Amino acid sequence: MSKGSFAAFLAHLHPRAVPEPAAKVRFTFCLGGLALWMFLLEIVTGLLLVLSYVPSSSAAYESVQTITHAAPYGFFIRNLHYWCGQAMVIFVALHMVRVFVTGSFGPPRSFNWVIGALLLALTLLVDFTGYLLVWDDRGLWAWTIARNLAQTVPLVGSGFATMLFGPSEVTEMVALRLYVWHVILLPLAMTLLVAWHFWRIRKDGGISGPL
């Protein structure tokens, strides 16, 4: 990376000035930042949970019970992971509403609005896959309904359902497939999109001001 490129990169990370109206809490409500903090807490608590979780259809539920009732601080970590996940969904959704209401999605920020919409979709999907990983009766029925709905997608329904939720019959592959989506693929995609989202904010002129 050339010196000029590196200087430009630092300039995007550390803008010289932020418009005073845009920095007020009553305009942004810090919803994007709060969503990012929830995401970081999800990563930390999730890494702790995977130390004891067993991604197997026959052992997943028992491992969750072990985490909750036997592992040191397991109850606290699992509940923190759960509630941070729900808070993240709320903050991302409210952030999208705030951006829409204030007109902050308009040019030159239109493309970043699309990135934000993708992040909202991934946030809902990662939250749902985490719900399934408990693999209790509710998780099993939720998996069945979601898979059946995915199969109704025209032309690609069968392959789409298998890619997301595994084979139609409950096998060891089902929990493993959901585990890979929840722990690796979706968080990785979200991390890349979050970095791109924040970079686009700098590139598009910084935080948008009130209309």
- What is the per-residue pLDDT across 45-55, written as a single tens digit (0 to 9) for each? 999 999 999 99
Percent of the chain with pLDDT over 70: 89
Residue 139 domain flag: yes
Residue 197 domain flag: yes
Residue 198 domain flag: yes
Q: What is the mean pLDDT of residues 157-165?
A: 92
Residue 46 domain flag: yes
Residue 6 domain flag: no
pLDDT at 15: 58
Sign of CA dihedral 137, 44, 96, 26: positive
Residue 90 domain flag: yes
**CATH number reported for the structural domain that contains residue 146 in this entry:** 1.20.810.10
Is residue 59 predicted with pLDDT exceeding 80?
yes
Amino acid letter for position 76: F
Residue 111 domain flag: yes
Give the domain range for residue 188: 26-203
Q: How far is CA 84 from the centre of its chain?
A: 11
Residue 99 domain flag: yes
pLDDT classification of 204: cutoffs 50, 70, 90: confident
pLDDT classification of 9: cutoffs 50, 70, 90: low
Q: How many domains does the chain have?
A: 1
**Half-sphere exposure (CA, 13 Å, Cβ side) for 196?**
15
CA proximity to 42, closest of 153, 126, 98, 146: 126
pLDDT in tens, 60-115: 999 999 999 999 999 999 999 999 999 999 999 999 999 999 888 988 899 999 99
